[in-house]
Amino acid sequence: MKRSSGARLGATAVVSVLSLALVTGCSDSGATGDAKDSGSGSETQAAKALGAAELKKLILAQGDVEGYKIEPVDDTFAGSKDDMQADAKCLPIAHVMSGLAPGEPTAETNRMATEDKEPADAASQSLEDLGEAAFEDAFTSVLNVDMTIVTLSSYDGEGAGETMKSVSDAVEGCADGFSAASDGEDAKITKVESEDASGSGDESVAFAVTAEMDETEGEPATVHAQVVRHGSTIATYYTLNLGAMMSGGEEVYEVPAAVIDAQAAKLK
């Protein structure tokens, strides 16, 4: 059965999004974009950094978030800071958008939190039994799932506080976009916008990044992130929803509050 160009582009976009390091790469190694301070001060920032084993005990595990499946991050998303190129002031955003911890952590670990959602009725039928419009609706429904890479990273001395400032500065300084490259893939970031942060932890920064995608004929794709400091540990949340990204802005999503709250509870 012949399908429309929209469906074909959608399938291509999925492959592209899952392979583009600057949009979904990662590694296991209410405020605005300005860091929101909850008043813990530098004494907390200078606390001893946690080791890798301690971080793995604290990061989300299966059963911690109702309605979400928690799994190790697939090797498909592997990325590295060594391969990344961007304006220095915008690198913190590029790192977060790659599922990597910002700054220079002493240790980090990550997990993927995937929304466990039943597909629409049409999405459960055989694709060959669907008309063109129903096929596209079913295809989008299957992909309309929030996927969040949660990264925990620890920092020595004042490193956590300094890293938060670098992220906040990047959101402001890179608002008009920037170019970045990683592992042979180029990304054109067209806009960085601050968003309301959760206010959890000692300080938090939230933002959305919009990028051009050649595979969708230049249609912009927007992803969301939030960075939260808990003492000398930073929790980074990077969320994408492929169905929403393919909707041309009709579907709105954000970093799931349930995921942030569950991780924050384990860091208290």
In the numeric block, which tokens belong to residue 245? 């990204």
**What pLDDT does residue 30 have?**
35
**41 has a pLDDT exceeding 50:** no
CA distances for 72 relative to 25, 111, 114, 199, angstroms: 14, 5, 11, 27
**What pLDDT does residue 71 have?**
95
**What pLDDT does residue 252 have?**
85
Number of C-beta neighbours around residue 149 at 10 A? 24
Give me the CATH number covering residue 50: 3.40.1000.70
CA dihedral 4, 6, 8, 12 (to 10 degrees): 180
Higher-pLDDT residue of 160 and 219 is 160
Higher-pLDDT residue of 8 and 72 is 72
Report the distance separating Cα 91 and Cα 82, nearest Å: 12
Q: What single DSSP character describes residue 157?
A: T
**What pLDDT does residue 98 have?**
83
Higher-pLDDT residue of 142 and 89 is 89
Which residue is it, tokens 């309605």?
67
Give 10's pLDDT tier (boundaries 50, 70, 90): very low
CA distances for 58 relative to 19, 72, 264, angstroms: 28, 14, 10
In the numeric block, which tokens belong to residue 75? 């090797």
The domain tally of the chain equals 1
**22 has a pLDDT exceeding 60:** no
Answer for the pair 241, 147: CB distance below 8 angstroms, yes or no: yes
Give 111's pLDDT tier (boundaries 50, 70, 90): very high
Paired with 238 in beta bridges are 149, 225
**18 has a pLDDT exceeding 70:** no
**3 has a pLDDT exceeding 50:** no
pLDDT in tens, 119-154: 554 445 555 665 665 555 555 567 888 999 999 999
Report the distance separating Cα 221 and Cα 218, nearest Å: 9
92-96, 142-146, 157-161: segment of lowest average pLDDT: 142-146
What domain range is 173 assigned to?
Answer: 5-266
**39 has a pLDDT exceeding 70:** no
Query: Strands, DSSP E only, in the chain?
Result: 36-37, 68-71, 84-86, 107-115, 147-154, 178-182, 185-195, 203-212, 220-230, 233-240
pLDDT in tens, 167-212: 999 999 999 999 888 777 777 889 999 999 999 999 999 999 998 7
pLDDT in tens, 212-268: 765 545 578 889 999 999 999 999 999 988 888 776 666 789 999 999 999 999 998
CA dihedral 182, 112, 143, 188 (to 10 degrees): -20
